[in-house]
Amino acid sequence: MKFIAYLWVLLGLLSLAACGEVNAGVIQASQTAILPDASSTNTVSPTPTSTPPTATPQTSLTENSTPLPATQVSVTPTPADVITLPDLQAYTWQVVADGFDQPVALLDAMDGSGRLFVVERSGLVRIIQDGNVLPTPFLDLQDRIGLTGSTSAGVLGMAFHPNFSKNGLFFIHYTNSSGQSVIARFQANADLSAGDPITERRLLEIDYPIGEHKGGDLAFGLDSFLYISIGDGGGPGNGDQAGNAQNPGTLLGSILRIDVDGEDPYAIPPDNPFGSGGGRPEIWVYGLRNPWRFSFDRLTGDLFIADVGENAWEEINFLPAGTRGGSNFGWNYFEGTHRYQGQPPPGLILTEPIFQYDHNQGCSIVGGVVYRGQALHEWQGVYIYGDYCQGHVWALLRHPDGSLENQLHEKVSAYITAFGQDQAGEVYLVDIGGEIFKLVRK
């Protein structure tokens, strides 16, 4: 079972290889190389993208630094972040649960129950409570999940409504038997102990030309809008020949932003960049290859997007809280900060990644989370992310002046599919082979 799970991830996450960020002609592509052995990389760190590639005309679709209108929900003030990375050798990843079938995500409903929800690719959502895996799943969608025809298939992501404890709503991104991505809303029962499959309300159904790059993540921002990552719809080596990521007339290669508390099934937030025309109104940012995992800093609202690369480069994109929508991260003009194909048109501003690494260090980036827990105060404000291929986990600290500090933390015996947080802000790692790890002090 574990071997089969690893094989699926190897095929699936390699194909996930995601898009790159760009600043006036910079993008990042990533991955097909297998990570070197941990013993040979314990001092290796991905390189910041401080040196821009070949210059390209810069002009913008939208300004990425303009604050949002006053209607934007204000963010919680940030506690004091650490000024440097901790001694990473003093911390490790400890197995806290196992026996899952190809888990792809872990999350907390933030309802005070102490439950952790583990999403399995095959359609089950299972519960860890008080350190035990409960025998009865929270949700069973196996009757509607399509697992064939693509290595990127099944349940891909999940998000609880910010008011789940009151309204019982949650959202799932899954693929159906036709290979479409389905973004659906579900309702839990009265005591919130289980989700009811019969309550499904489909918000979006998305077709793909090839279907390997589906993105898959869901998350609510501090503005209470639902964000959804969608891949460019291509496959390994395809290079997005259809040009989907640079075409705001399609939802592909984008992160969407919708208001699930407005009209039924959803409304368009008034400040979405294409709300008045010029593209699909659901789009918030675009120019992405395969944003498998993204996350918001739960205290600041800053957005981190990990985009799986095409051939050579993996990247991390960053948007500070308050950034207007419309950022174009440059795929497929660029892979990371490296030219991939074509010439950006004059006047197009591309947002480059804040960080990238080549395929000597990994093959498929897995976006993580900013540590906001209490048990490991030395990690406060540190972004934790990994690479699927050999279980490498890195720690990245962004300083107020924009400079970066990045170190390889550990090689975990896992094929990483996701990171997650509990309500207290402690960080977990998900292994497609069935194990859940927690970051702890040695």
- The Cα–Cα gap between 428 and 128 comes to 12
What pLDDT score was predicted for residue 126?
98
396-413 tens-digit pLDDT = 999 999 999 999 999 999
- The Cα–Cα gap between 386 and 389 comes to 9
DSSP code at position 179:
S
- The Cα–Cα gap between 33 and 67 comes to 39
pTM exceeds 0.75: yes
DSSP code at position 40:
G
What pLDDT score was predicted for residue 13?
43
Residue of 107, 174, 185 whose CA lies nearest to 369: 107
What pLDDT score was predicted for residue 46?
43
CB atoms within 10 A of CB 79: 12
Q: What's the distance, CA 197 to chain centroid?
A: 25
What pLDDT score was predicted for residue 184?
98
What pLDDT score was predicted for residue 414?
97
Q: What phi-psi label fits residue 243: left (phi over 0), alpha (psi between -120 and 50 degrees) or beta?
A: left
Tally of domains within the chain: 1
What pLDDT score was predicted for residue 219?
98
Q: What CA–CA distances, in Å, run from 128 to 106, 113, 247, 435? A: 10, 11, 41, 12
Total number of residues shown for the chain: 442
- The Cα–Cα gap between 198 and 380 comes to 41
196 is in which domain, residue-wise?
2-441
What pLDDT score was predicted for residue 79?
64
What pLDDT score was predicted for residue 67?
33
Residues of the chain with pLDDT under 70: 1-79, 149-150
Beta pairing partners, 189: none
- The Cα–Cα gap between 56 and 354 comes to 18
124-155 tens-digit pLDDT = 999 999 999 999 999 999 999 999 866 789 99
Could you tell me the sign of the dihedral formed by the alpha carbons of 282, 272, 221, 212, in that order? positive
What pLDDT score was predicted for residue 152?
84
Burial class (CB in 10 A: 0-12, 13-18, 19+), 346: exposed
Residues 6+ positions from 393 with CB-CB distance below 8 Å: 93, 384, 385, 386, 408, 409, 410, 411, 412, 416, 429
Q: Any idea what the CATH number is for the domain that residue 381 is in?
A: 2.120.10.30
Q: Are strands 169-175 and 155-160 parallel, antiparallel or unpaired?
A: antiparallel
